[in-house]
DNA sequence: CCTTTCAGTTAGTTA
DNA sequence: TAACTAAGTGAAAGG
């Protein structure tokens, strides 16, 4: 991670460093005064102020104000970035693309920090499925929990917060309550299911089974589960994801018939 | 713009600088190795790699990989940021919020650049040529839509949200409703105009024309337009901007309000 | 405070 | 390549 860093560079220094970095498609960070104009799908102007300008290694350009999640101005990847020194002391950076045809112009004033370098990032990013999605998947493919399971109706919350559950019937006709956890189920989760079942048994006389569906049981949850005569079924977010994907496919083909 | 910059800081140096910056709610830039985990509405993990971590002055946290417009992980403004040095050499940054309850953990490895400071940005941001402004332009220069068109009155919403429209009379005295879209008009836009006209025709007996004024028609909108006997007129944001600009020259005071 | 709608949405997927 | 859809959407506007 060799970084080239300049503090309070002159215009010519900054221009030289920027041009080199743009050519080599390095990451560029510039903290300093600038103003920005944009023209394309819409048009905008941004007066002078201190911001962070970031040019990424794929050519995307981001102008960030000191507050706010979103960049105030930007340009997506694969745009053409150019550095110009127009008048003495006027360093301008342009980023343009076509389709749609648009460009942003960033005029710099005093720059406090200019840093460039090539970051190496091969780390894997994995976004996991949500509890709600796991529930969806189990409703579509109840065999993820147990063969012969038939979901009865949608969630009845009982004012329980964070309780993702499914009502179902097993192949013997027993009522089944499935509590879904995306993360390893804790003793608290088991107790939550237990309280739910207790409430339910005051209004339903038929036998009720309680199943915790989660990727695994946290330490200490298994003994509690046994003593309460509840059950655990391993259901992984990944397996649910696969079901959701396949369902998407079938749904799509249904509409295309 | 006093910036505090450290190159290749030690863990303890980095921790000290980070803690101070977090307390004073300064902007923080950290370029270096990290891995990230997120848990909340969904959950995600991101393995080791070199990234830019940015903490803004409102507490928003952004983790940017060297490519891509969007941050790979983030936390919106007003979240609680904490710095921890857990094991020797393990610098961890956590950013959490509730509603929804979620948090990200950023564990740092080698840090190449750490910069903090308070940026001062009072520059005004103005986005031009919105749909509203296109409406302004057409009210000023109705010939953008049709020669002889005379606007009658300002918008009557009819509970329609997002319906930017103009009432007018054509040179034959027909009532004309113009629906303005800054982006290519979709079938939905056409249907919206149609529903509007249907409602209008229940209370007005004279002939009414419906015109979609947009830079272009999205695929599929033209046949629908034809079958409903509606019309399309190409009106570009650029043309509207030109009108607004020319008006700006003549009536500068209006825009300075 | 909650819901709805917009965005220079961006990004991914599929026909 | 173009149209469609989802997003940890975020942000603004209206009730």
pLDDT reported for residue A52: 98
Domain boundaries B131-255, CATH class = alpha beta
Whether B142 and B170 have beta carbons less than 8 Å apart is answered as no
Which site among B25, B27, B59 would you substitute to test the A interface, given the most A Cβ atoms closer than 10 Å to its Cβ?
Answer: B27
Please check whether residue A254 touches B, CB under 8 A. no
**Mean pLDDT computed over B94-98:** 94
pLDDT reported for residue A63: 98
| Spacing of B163 CA from C5 C1' in Å | 12
Query: Which of the nucleotides in strand D have any atom less than 7 Å away from a protein CB atom?
Result: 2-4, 8-11
Directed axis angle between helix B237-250 and helix B131-140, to 10°?
Answer: 60
Q: Is the CB of A95 under 7 A from strand C?
A: no
For B37-92, write each residue's pLDDT tens digit: 998 888 899 999 999 999 999 999 999 999 999 999 999 998 999 999 987 789 99
Per-residue pLDDT for A257 more than 70?
A: no
Which uninterrupted H or E stretch holds B188?
Answer: helix B187-201
- Of the candidates A139, A202, A195, A209, the one whose C-alpha atom is nearest the C-alpha of residue A162 is A195
Domain boundaries B3-117, CATH class = mainly beta
**Mean pLDDT computed over B101-129:** 94
Confirm whether pTM is higher than 0.85. no
Most confident of A175-179, A218-222, B16-20: B16-20
- The C-alpha atoms of residue B75 and residue B22 are separated, in whole angstroms, by 15
Per-residue pLDDT for B103 more than 70?
A: yes
Find the range with the poorest average confidence among A34-48, A179-193, B113-127. Answer: A179-193
pLDDT reported for residue B22: 97
Domain spans in chain A, listed from the N-terminal domain onward: 3-117, 131-255
pLDDT reported for residue B247: 61
pLDDT reported for residue B163: 57
Please check whether residue B122 touches A, CB under 8 A. yes
**A80 versus A203: which is more confidently predicted?**
A80
Query: Which of the nucleotides in strand C have any atom less than 7 Å away from a protein CB atom?
Result: 4-11, 14-15
| Spacing of A173 CA from C8 C1' in Å | 57
**Mean pLDDT computed over A161-178:** 82
pLDDT reported for residue B254: 33
Tell me whether residues A27 and B66 touch, CB distance under 8 A: yes
For A211-250, write each residue's pLDDT tens digit: 999 888 888 889 999 999 999 998 887 777 767 666 644 4
Given the DSSP bridges, would you call strands A43-55 and B125-128 parallel, antiparallel or unpaired?
antiparallel
For B205-256, write each residue's pLDDT tens digit: 999 999 988 877 877 788 888 899 999 888 887 778 777 766 644 333 233 2
Which site among B9, B25, B30, B42 would you substitute to test the A interface, given the most A Cβ atoms closer than 10 Å to its Cβ?
Answer: B42
| Token pair recorded at residue A82 | 């150019």
3-state helix, strand, coil in chain B (%, to 5): 25, 40, 35
For A79-105, write each residue's pLDDT tens digit: 999 999 987 789 999 999 988 889 999
Which uninterrupted H or E stretch holds B170?
Answer: none
3-state secondary structure of A185: strand
Residue A67 CB contacts under 8 Å (≥ 6 apart), including other chains: B56, B57, B58, B60, B77
Per-residue pLDDT for B157 more than 50?
A: no
Please check whether residue A125 touches B, CB under 8 A. yes
> How far A206 CA sits from the closest chain B CA (Å)?
36
Radius of gyration of chain A (CA): 29
| B residues 210-239 closer than 8 Å to A (CB) | 237
Whole-number average pLDDT of chain B: 86
Q: Is the CB of B4 under 7 A from strand D?
A: no
**Mean pLDDT computed over A47-68:** 97
Using pLDDT thresholds of 50, 70 and 90, give the confidence band for residue A169. very high
DSSP 8-state code for residue A144: G
Shortest CA distance from A43: residue in chain B: B128
pLDDT reported for residue A64: 98
Which site among B34, B37, B43, B114 would you substitute to test the A interface, given the most A Cβ atoms closer than 10 Å to its Cβ?
Answer: B43
pLDDT reported for residue B256: 28
The β-bridge partners of A53 are: A30, A63
Helical spans, DSSP H, in A96-155: 131-140
């Amino acid at each position: 991670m060799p970084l080239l860093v300049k503090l309070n560079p002159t215009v010519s220094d900054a221009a030289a460093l920027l041009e080199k970095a743009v050519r080599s498609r390095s990451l560029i960070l510039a903290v300093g005064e600038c103003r920005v104009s944009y023209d394309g799908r819409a048009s905008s102007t941004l007066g002078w102020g201190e911001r962070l300008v970031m040019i990424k290694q794929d050519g995307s350009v981001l102008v960030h104000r000191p507050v706010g999640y979103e960049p105030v101005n930007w340009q997506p990847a694969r745009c053409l970035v150019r550095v110009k020194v127009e008048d003495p002391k006027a360093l301008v950076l342009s980023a343009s693309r076509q389709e749609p045809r648009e460009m942003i112009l960033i005029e710099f004033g005093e720059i406090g920090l200019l840093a460039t370098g090539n970051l190496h990032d091969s780390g894997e990013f994995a976004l996991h499925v949500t509890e709600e999605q796991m529930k969806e998947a189990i409703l579509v493919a109840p065999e993820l929990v147990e063969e012969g399971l038939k979901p009865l109706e949608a969630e009845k919350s009982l004012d329980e917060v964070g309780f993702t559950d499914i009502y179902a019937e097993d192949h013997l006709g027993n009522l089944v309550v499935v509590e879904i956890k995306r993360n390893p189920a804790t003793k608290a989760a088991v107790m939550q299911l237990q309280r739910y079942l207790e409430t339910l048994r005051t209004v339903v006389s038929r036998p009720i089974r309680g199943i915790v569906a989660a990727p695994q049981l946290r330490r200490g949850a298994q003994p509690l589960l046994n003593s309460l005569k509840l059950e655990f079924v391993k259901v992984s977010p990944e397996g649910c994801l696969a079901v959701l994907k396949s369902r998407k496919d079938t749904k799509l083909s249904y509409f295309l018939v």
